[in-house]
Structure 1
Amino acid sequence: MKQLFSKVLSPTDIEHRLAVPSEILWAFEFDQARRCADFEVKDKHGQTWEFRCSTRKKDFHPKPVVSKGWRKFVKDKGLQAGDKVVFYKDVEGDSSYRIITMKKVFKLFGEEVWLPS
């Protein structure tokens, strides 16, 4: 599994949609006409979640976001601003996606310590 990205969630990520880095667009099979890619993600319990990654119509800065299915995931997982998500993709096998949610528990020697939630 290759880590696509990790992100500490902002209030906007929690309340509306998850902004994701443009650098990971290679990891999705985009429908160019609709400018989106639907994909399934499994959490640590093996539950499957359906998400949609979409971009703006302007090519100069696509600003990708995960929208469809994201709010349900946030609600069901009890995520809050300040929590972290980590997305992975299996680049050698079946091209499946995984997601891990994490909560910050404390700082140790100035470093934040995160545990899977």
Structure 2
Amino acid sequence: MEIFTKQLNSIDLERGLVLPRDCNLERLQPFHGTIELSTIVESYAGTHLPDPVTIHCSTRSGKLEFTRGWRDIARDAGLKSGDTVTFYREVNGGAQYKMRVRNVG
């Protein structure tokens, strides 16, 4: 169940990933303020980062943003401006968050 897909820009990589306005927030578990989401990161080719990453999601200036944990993903996956990320929730007996990354280069 996809929550959002976003093509990255330099601000997403330097400051934090601001979630798109059209993201499907109903698929996130309800929260106020901040939430930490344990996330498995994989490429579209199917390779995974070795360990799940905990992403800190918070509201800043009225917008949802991935902060802590997101920069680790961007660095470890070699993400650059123009790359695409898809964040989704997979339900197999329990909720699991996953992020698929696609490098343009």
Q: Please tell me the TM-score bracket, short chain as reference.
A: 0.7 to 0.9
SS of 1:99's partner is: strand
Post-superposition Cα deviations, 1:60-97, rounded to whole Å, max 9, x if no partner, equal xx210000111111111111000010111024631110
Q: How does 1:46-57 map to 2 (within 5 A)?
A: 47-56=51-60
Pick 1 or 2: higher relative contact order, CA cutoff 8 A, min separation 6.
2
Equivalents in 1 of 2:84, 2:53: separation in Å?
A: 17
Q: Which has the larger radius of gyration?
A: 1
Correspondence list, 1:1-117, <5 A: 2-22=1-21, 23-26=23-26, 27-30=28-31, 32=32, 35-44=33-42, 45=48, 47-56=51-60, 62-91=62-91, 93-104=93-104
Q: Aligned pairs, how many? A: 97
Q: CA RMSD in A?
A: 1.9
TM-score by length of 1: 0.73
Query: How far is the alpha carbon of 1:47 from its aligned partner?
Result: 2.6
SS at match of 2:80: coil
Give the percent of matched residue pairs that are identical in Structure 1 and Structure 2: 30
Which residue does the alignment assign to 1:110?
Answer: none
User: Aligned partners of 1:74, 1:50: CA distance in 2, in Å?
Assistant: 13
Indicate conservation of the 8 Å contact 2:41/2:73, yes or no: no
Q: Distance in 1 between matches of 2:102 and 2:20?
A: 19
Q: 1:54 to 1:39 in 2, by over 3 A?
A: same
Matched position secondary structure for 1:104: coil
CA shift digits 1:35-65 (9 cap, x unpaired) = 01111000232630110110137xxxx2100
